[in-house]
Amino acid sequence: MAEVEIGIGKSARVAYGLDAVGIVPSRRTRDPQDVSLAWEIDAYRFDLPLVAAAADAVTSPASAIALGRLGGLGVLHVEGLWTRYEQPENHIAELSEIGDKEGQQAATERLRALYESPVRPELIARRLGELRDAGVVVAAALRPQKVRALSQHVLAAGVDLLVIHGTAVSAEHQSRRSEPLNLKRFIGELDVPVLVGGCASFSTALHLMRTGAAGVIVGVGSGLGDRTHDVLGVGVPLATAIADAAGARMRYLDESGGRYVHVVAHGDLQTGGDLAKAIACGADAVMVDAALAAAQDAPGQGGMWPMDVLHSDLPRGRWAPVTPTGTLAQIVTGPGAATGTGLLNLAGGLRTAMATTGYATLKEFQKAEIMVTAAS
């Protein structure tokens, strides 16, 4: 690790963002058709290493089903609008109208009001049922502080993968007011595999792996206009966070005698190139939000917002309008049309990146040579 002394009293590691990274072609090239993007976690196999984040502007039951059919995985937020309202589509459409006429702040205020309506257990059951009926993998997300209150409803409704996702989640939450959730015990008692995060360092990732999680989400905050770094000063550039978690994965593989915990990268991943770089840094899969919120048929209906916007006294981010880039299907599997920006055909971009640099599987691509560009 490159350590620098930022001053006489303090050292810091040097960290790298994905924007600093470039993938180096190897001495081989391949046909794109020979490249496999397949990924497995627990009993579930996916054609694409692409997970849609549990954010209301990104993932609805409908978009999760569509993404599942394209080969990816959509995660529905159990504390989102779909479990609070019968027809959240109407409310979301109203947000876009407000945003258009009265501005982002008014839309954000309306949004915050919408989330004051309670989560309804029968809607949890209904929404997850819709996913199951469609034949896709059923994944649902909770914030750690709501696991105790809501997980029973999720489990009762039936779920294939449980996602516990907060700004920064640790294996050891401390509280003087209430008995904190013991993640290890909770996960140990579940039959369902758990994906947990965000985390952003070797030791946090390792401790989360030791809870028995099937995967960890790497990255603090979200990519939907989230302002976690401004508001909290907390954050680790993503290339380093991914590589550290990949290091923890290797360590845990060794100490557990062979348990492989998946690393899912989550940050401001927008283009096929971003996906390729995240995997070349060591990720098994990527969690995407803004890139999918920009679909013409995205649940956000022309708007996007991070779930962090809900914090009552410390909101991070706001409702913001989105310029549509294409349909969900185009964004995920192309074709790229005439824009040529990398925002469409994420899977194609990743596949061609691997072919161009000579790698046939995601596992091999995780070991790709990379360079970081010196700033000038």
Q: Is 249 in the site for its own copies (CB under 8 A)?
A: yes
Distance CA 187, CA 169 (A): 14
User: Which residues, in sequence order, are CB contacts of 169 under 8 Å at separation 6+?
Assistant: 144, 196, 197, 198, 199, 208
Question: Which CB atom, from 113 or from 156, has the smaller least distance to its own copies?
Answer: 113
Q: Is 335 in the site for its own copies (CB under 8 A)?
A: yes
Choices 67-75, 91-99, 106-114, 123-131 (CB under 8 A): range interacting with its own copies = 106-114
Distance CA 224, CA 217 (A): 16
Q: Which helix (H) or strand (E) holds 44?
A: strand 44-46
Distance CA 111, CA 355 (A): 43
Query: If 0-12 CB within 10 Å is exposed, 13-18 middle and 19+ buried, where does residue 184 land?
Result: middle
The minimum distance between CB 248 and its own copies, in angstroms, equals: 7
The DSSP line for 277-343 is HHHHTT-SEEEESHHHHTBTT-TTTTEE--GGGG-SSS-----EE----B-HHHHHH---TTT-SSS
Q: Which of 240, 252, 294, 303 binds its own copies (CB under 8 A)?
A: 240
String marking each residue 37-76 x if it binds its own copies according to CB under 8 A: ----------------------------------------
Question: Which CB atom, from 108 or from 301, has the smaller least distance to its own copies?
Answer: 108
Choices 133-141, 252-260, 293-301, 365-373 (CB under 8 A): range interacting with its own copies = 365-373
String marking each residue 124-163 x if it binds its own copies according to CB under 8 A: --------------------x-------------------
Q: Which of 136, 171, 287, 331 binds its own copies (CB under 8 A)?
A: 171
Question: Which CB atom, from 133 or from 369, has the smaller least distance to its own copies?
Answer: 369
Q: Is 324 in the site for its own copies (CB under 8 A)?
A: no
How many of the chain's residues bind its own copies (CB under 8 A)? 123
Question: Which CB atom, from 16 or from 157, has the smaller least distance to its own copies?
Answer: 16
Residue tagged 């502007």 (tokens): 57
Residues 206-235 that bind its own copies (CB under 8 A): 206-207, 220, 227, 229-235
Q: Is 173 in the site for its own copies (CB under 8 A)?
A: yes
What's the sign of the alpha-carbon dihedral 243, 247, 249, 250? positive
